Amino acid sequence: MLELKALPADCSRRREDNACDRCGTRVLSVCGSIDEADLGRLDSLAEHMTFAAGEVLIREEDPANHVFNITSGSVRVYKLLADGRRQITGFLFAGDFLGLATGDSYVFSAEAIEPATACRFRKSEYRSLIRDCPTLETALLERATHELVAAQNQMLLLGRKTALERIATFLLELPSHDPARSRLEGQVHLPMTRSEIADYLGLTIETVSRILTRLKTQGVIHLVSLSELRIEQPGVLRDLAEGTA
């Protein structure tokens, strides 16, 4: 674990071998808003974490002491009901930020879906960095605005769309949420299981499997493997997502 040392408030000092300079996902994250002269302080605050599939980043009701910037892999964010049922509220990928908009305790859990890496920061130190670097504050505000829009779209998806419309929408939108992953045109990477897709879309696993099979039979998609598919007829899938097919 790296030693945490805060640099002066002017963000001007740089460490040799700055990991931020080598980070391939910096351009996708809020870190991309920070000036070159400020990256030394950001790097000095970061703990570079590696998570195996299924490993916990955040556990609901634990003290909210850290925030995370995902740098590779994917993460599921979820809440558990009293009877043990799970509602997945989001999937996070490289460039996504996690944990800042919470109170004293986390109100959700987060686990790695596949091997993942993240920069972890102590929340108090990160908030101090935000105060000293206005461009970072602006980037976080823009990210929060986008997340609010995404939450509103998710409410529409769960409240008004049919099962077929939900799955079609999910397949169309997923690649845009995971821009760091290399893929062929029309290819969709599915690191999550069918059960996790069901928990995210408010469906049963049987419904998810049945609709994917239906889309495959109709030639709309091609199932390359359990974790990869290719959209063969994007126009048809878009019509299905919008309920106009």
Kindly indicate the confidence band of residue 156, based on its pLDDT and cuts at 50, 70 and 90.
confident
Which two structure tokens, joined as six digits, stand for 178? 């995971």
Please name each of the domains of the chain with its CATH number. 19-150 (2.60.120.10), 161-242 (1.10.10.10)
At 7 the pLDDT is 36
* 176-194 pLDDT tens trace: 889 888 778 899 999 999 9
188 Ramachandran zone, left/alpha/beta (phi>0; psi -120 to 50): beta
Contact 60, 109 (CB under 8 A): yes
Kindly indicate the confidence band of residue 17, based on its pLDDT and cuts at 50, 70 and 90.
low
* 105-119 pLDDT tens trace: 999 999 999 999 999
Q: What is the pTM of this model?
A: 0.83
**Alpha carbons 197 and 9: distance in angstroms, whole number:** 44
Checking 200-205 for CB contacts under 8 A at 24+ apart, the result is 200/88, 200/89, 200/90, 200/91, 200/170, 201/157, 201/158, 201/163, 201/166, 201/167, 201/170, 202/87, 202/158, 202/166, 203/163, 203/166, 203/167
Look-up: residue for tokens 């590696």?
A: 50
